[in-house]
Copies of this chain bind each other. A is one copy, B any other.
Amino acid sequence: MNTEIIAPQLEALGNARRLDLYRHLVRAGAAGLPVGSLQERLNIPASTLSHHLKRLVSTGLVTQERQSTVLICRAHYPAMNALVGFLTDECCADEGRCDTRESAA
């Protein structure tokens, strides 16, 4: 898992609107949420939402599945797990939840 995958994912989540959006999907769980529901909840124009969704989808953090008329969006946990794994393995040290390396060359 290299930085060329990780950095865009961090950037995707590093926007208040998209982080909020992503968290709505996490809370929605396996059922996911249709784009339209997200739009109501976030209360933003459809075209703006579509733009942000595209960024999340393009980094692999969100998946979409069409169910007839509606597009269901879901948080894609494997991507998030890999992201957390990267941060834990390669960006943490010392105290706390992360591992305890001190200066892995």
- Which A residues lie at the B interface, using CB under 8 A? 3-4, 6-16, 19-20, 22-23, 26-31, 75, 77-78, 80-81, 83-85, 87-88, 90-98, 102-105
Contacts and interface: CB of A to CB of B under 8 A. Distances in A.
Given A27-B105, A28-B103, A83-B87, 13 more contacts: A11-B15, A22-B91, A27-B104, A75-B91, A75-B93, A77-B95, A77-B96, A80-B91, A80-B98, A81-B92, A81-B96, A81-B97, A88-B97
Q: How many copies does the complex hold?
A: 2
B16 A3 contact: yes
Question: Main SS of the interface on chain A?
Answer: helix
A26 B77 contact: no
A6 B30 contact: no
Contact of A7 (B4, B19, B88, B91): B19
